[in-house]
Amino acid sequence: MDRLKKFVRPHILTIKPYSSARDDFKGSAEVYLDANENSYGPVTGGDFNRYPDPHQTKLKGVLSKVKGVSPDQIFIGNGSDEPIDLLIRAFCEPERNKIVILPPTYGMYKVSALINNVGVIEIPLTIEFQIDTDQLKKTSFDYCKIIFICSPNNPSGNLLNSQTIIEILEEFDGLVVVDEAYIDFAQETSLIEKLEQYPNLVILQTFSKAWGLAAIRLGIAYGNPYIIEILNKIKPPYNINKASQEMGIQALEIESTKNEVVEKIVAERNLLAKKLKALSFVREIVPSNANFLLVRFDNSESINDFLRKRNIIVRDRSRELHCEGCLRITIGTPVENDRLIQVLNEL
Ligand SMILES: Cc1ncc(COP(=O)(O)O)c(C=O)c1O
């Protein structure tokens, strides 16, 4: 615990968190006149006039069973973007501390750091989109508090070498945040089972991808209870609304449905990769463990323009490191994927 405590910004340790009306009274009562809610009910009808559970107790209970962790190892955020921001705010002193990222990677780590006036050290992935261990050894990590590792990586789609991640966990004197937003689509399993062994490990997952619930904004951070407590201490009191908590529980109760959809997406991914490979102007497809493909084209700009004119939107990643000529294509339904191939064949 002392090791983790020394990573936290000292003033955070002394803050007394906001105590909500729902913290002050936890039982059930006949009349609630404690939270300045509207006892007459919502103007829309429905059951939304009371503040939601600030601790998401029921959702964490169900999630803990599904994931095999204890509820005090779970933080629920308004999308994974919330724990990304909170981790930086809790652990990095502005203008002093830094985070480490491995580009090309998910953009919000850097944006959140910059918003918080926290420095960013970039250790580029190799051209095969793997962690550059030589560069890692040469880098000075003075003042670095967090390293963000995205695996499967966005935008490349591949898994990063898990043995290298373990080595980083063992050697880095700070938090190692492994973003597993796309892990359900991968051949490897989550690093969740390593949480007990590595107190400095934080794992991010989300309901936005495999669960198909991007609109309800549910992101999760799994970590040592001490880290989770710090995040809970600084989060806005009611960060997860009632509808999202309920939808999350409902989803977890039908996990098998999620698994079936993941299977379909993975099969479509493999099929789409095969069809794209057959096109003469496709130069490379990065082997994917996610729900998208990073595809390198001879002339990505004109292909992107052509697709847009035909009402098909993909993500131009050609300006990202090692991604010259690349478009990132999310796996759609069979009909959508067929349409994409049909339009590309018109070229
Ligand atoms: C790697 C990665 N992490 C996190 C997120 C954001 O997830 P959420 O919708 O939970 O904020 C994304 C979204 O695309 C992502 O690609």
Q: What are the pLDDT digits (tens) for 187-242?
A: 999 999 999 999 999 999 999 999 999 999 999 999 999 999 999 999 999 999 99
Helices 334-345 and 255-277: crossing angle in degrees, nearest 10, is: 10
Q: Read off the pLDDT of each residue in 99-113 and give the average, rounded to a whole number.
A: 98
Distance CA 88, CA 97 (A): 9
**Distance from the alpha carbon of residue 109 to the mean position of ligand 1, in angstroms:** 10
Q: What is the CA(227)–ligand 1 centre distance, in A?
A: 20
Distance of alpha carbon 83 from the chain centroid: 9
Q: How far is the CA of 81 from the centre of ligand 1 (A)?
A: 7
180 in ligand 1 pocket by Cβ < 6 Å? Answer: no
247-301 pLDDT, tens digit per residue, is 999 999 999 999 999 999 999 999 999 999 999 999 999 999 999 999 999 999 9
For every residue of 143-175, DSSP letters joined together read TEEEEEEESSPTTT-PPPPHHHHHHHHHH-SSE
Measured distance CA(314)–CA(149) in Å, rounded? 24
Kindly state if the Cβ of 292 falls inside 6 Å of ligand 1: no
- Ligand 1 atom nearest the C-alpha of 81 is 11
Q: Which of 110, 148, 206 to mutate to test the pocket of ligand 1 (most atoms within 8 A of CB)?
A: 206
Amino acid at site 346: E
Class of domain 2-248: alpha beta
Give tens-digit pLDDT for 141-159: 999 999 999 999 999 999 9
pLDDT at residue 174 in the model: 98
Q: Which atom of ligand 1 is nearest to the CA of 77?
A: 10
77 lines ligand 1 (CB under 6 A): no
Instruction: Identify any residues that bridge with 74 across adjacent strands, giving them in sequence order.
Output: 222
Q: Which amino acid residue places its CA nearest to atom 3 of ligand 1? A: 181
Query: Residue 132's pLDDT is what?
Result: 98
- Residue-level pLDDT at 122: 98
Interatomic CA distance for residues 50 and 22, integer angstroms: 10
Which atom, in ligand 1's list, is nearest to the CA of 219?
10
> Which residue has the CA at smallest separation from atom 2 of ligand 1?
181
Confidence at residue 2, expressed as pLDDT on a 0 to 100 scale: 84
Higher pLDDT: 24 or 103? It is 103
State the pLDDT confidence band at 26, using cuts at 50, 70 and 90: confident
Per-domain residue ranges of the chain: 2-248, 256-345
Locate 255 and state its tokens.
Answer: 């996990």
Ligand 1 atom with least separation from CA of 209: 9
Helix locations, the chain, DSSP H: 2-5, 10-14, 21-24, 57-67, 81-91, 108-115, 133-138, 162-171, 225-234, 242-252, 255-277, 300-309, 334-345
Q: Which atom of ligand 1 is nearest to the CA of 105?
A: 1
- 39-87 confidence digits (pLDDT tens): 999 999 999 999 999 999 999 999 999 999 999 999 999 999 999 999 9
Looking at residue 27, its pLDDT comes to: 87
Whether residue 80 has its Cβ less than 6 Å from ligand 1: yes
CATH of 256-345 given 3.40.50.150, 1.10.3720.10, 3.90.1150.10, 3.90.550.10: 3.90.1150.10
Is the bond preceding 155 in cis, omega lying within 30 degrees of 0?
yes
